[in-house]
Structure 1
Amino acid sequence: MNALVLFDSMGGNTEKVAGAIHEAIEKEQILCHMIKLDKETDLDFYDYDLIFIGSPVIDWLPTKTMMEFVKTKLKEYNGKGMIRPSAPIIPGKFAICFGTFAGPHIGKREALPMTMWLRSFLEHIGFMVLDTWHIVGQFKDRDDLNINGRLGNIQNRPNENDLENVKNRVEGILASLEAWK
């Protein structure tokens, strides 16, 4: 199995989560590439059997960099005839979408459109999306928003407990995929 953790991060929250995912995958002796997205990133999703793709939530969506990258890849794959009607699932291609959010207004519901956006892309290219994960992260340099939202005090999140939970989820996904073999 060849795995990818592709992410964008602005304040470091999503990078912490990506690091926890990467660590849990490598613990299982699985080849895993961890890539922080930038304008120079070039990769082929089909080179990977298991993809974790994540972003912070910005106005209910992924970062602009992530959105541009995904749209470019979708256009590229469509131009090659790889996007087919009914979006058939390609055997052995799996994904998880994850996002970090602070949710000072409505909590987790602010993150749902972002992971659904990423999920739609992955399903269009034939990956079976196994789950979407939403992890609380603090606002950088905004203590007023870190302590006064619906989620209560989110200072120093994601914390060790949050990251341990992510690692446990990864272990569960890997165990489930092992059972499919």
Structure 2
Amino acid sequence: MKSLVLFDSMSGNTEKVAAAICKTLESEAMAPQMTKVGKETDLDFYDYDLVCVGSPVIDWLPTQTMMNFIKKKLKGYNRQGLIKPAAPIIPGKFGVCFGTFAGPHIGEREALPMTMWFRSFLEHIGFTVLDSWHIVGQFNNREDLNISGRLGNIRNRPNENDLADVENRVRGVLASLEAWRS
């Protein structure tokens, strides 16, 4: 299976998670491509069997760079006639949505709109979304927000335990994929 880990990262938190996903996929011979989205990013989601899309949460949504990329891809696929009424599922195409959040205000619920946004895109293009992951990350320039939010002390997150959890989640997704192939 060919896999893609597409992400944006502003302070390195989401990149750590993307790297943990990629490392686990590599250990399972999933041939991952890890790509940080940018203005020049050019790829076709349909070239991959498993797509993991992630971003830090900015005002409940992905970064502007990621949103621009996704919107451009959706418009392009629509022009090609690939976006169909009722969004039929394409067999063998799977996705996972992930995001990092700091949660000084309401915690994980701040990340839900972002992963739902990713999920909607992937389902519009026919992918079956297997899971959404929300991982705590620290603020790099706001020490007060690292210790005063609803989540308590989030300094140095994502940490080893968070990344081990990501690895376990990837392995769980891969076990689900095995069930689909049997």
Separation in structure 2 between the aligned mates of residue 58 and residue 30 of structure 1, nearest angstrom: 30
Deviations 1:88-122, CA, capped at 9 Å, x for gaps? 00000000000000010000010000000011000
Identity in percent: 74
| Equivalent pairs, count | 181
Pairing 1:113-128 to 2, within 5 Å after superposition: 113-128=113-128
State yes or no: 1:157 paired with 2:157. yes
Separation in structure 2 between the aligned mates of residue 119 and residue 157 of structure 1, nearest angstrom: 25
Separation in structure 1 between the aligned mates of residue 179 and residue 105 of structure 2, nearest angstrom: 40
The aligned residue for residue 51 of structure 1 is: 51
Report the alpha carbon displacement of residue 14 of structure 1 after superposing the two structures with TM.
0.1
Q: Could you say what secondary structure the match of 1:121 adopts?
A: helix
Report the alpha carbon displacement of residue 87 of structure 1 after superposing the two structures with TM.
0.2
Pairing 1:6-17 to 2, within 5 Å after superposition: 6-17=6-17
Pairing 1:30-49 to 2, within 5 Å after superposition: 30-49=30-49
Report the alpha carbon displacement of residue 135 of structure 1 after superposing the two structures with TM.
0.2
What residue ranges of structure 1 are gaps of 5+ in the alignment?
none
Separation in structure 2 between the aligned mates of residue 175 and residue 117 of structure 1, nearest angstrom: 25
Separation in structure 2 between the aligned mates of residue 132 and residue 108 of structure 1, nearest angstrom: 12
Q: Could you say what secondary structure the match of 2:73 adopts?
A: helix
TM-score computed with the length of structure 2 as normaliser: 0.99
**Which amino acid in structure 1 is aligned with residue 16 of structure 2?**
K
Q: Could you say what secondary structure the match of 1:129 adopts?
A: strand
Pairing 1:1-181 to 2, within 5 Å after superposition: 1-181=1-181
Q: Could you say what secondary structure the match of 1:158 adopts?
A: coil
Report the alpha carbon displacement of residue 17 of structure 1 after superposing the two structures with TM.
0.1
Separation in structure 1 between the aligned mates of residue 81 and residue 30 of structure 2, nearest angstrom: 31
| RMSD between superposed Cα atoms in Å | 0.5
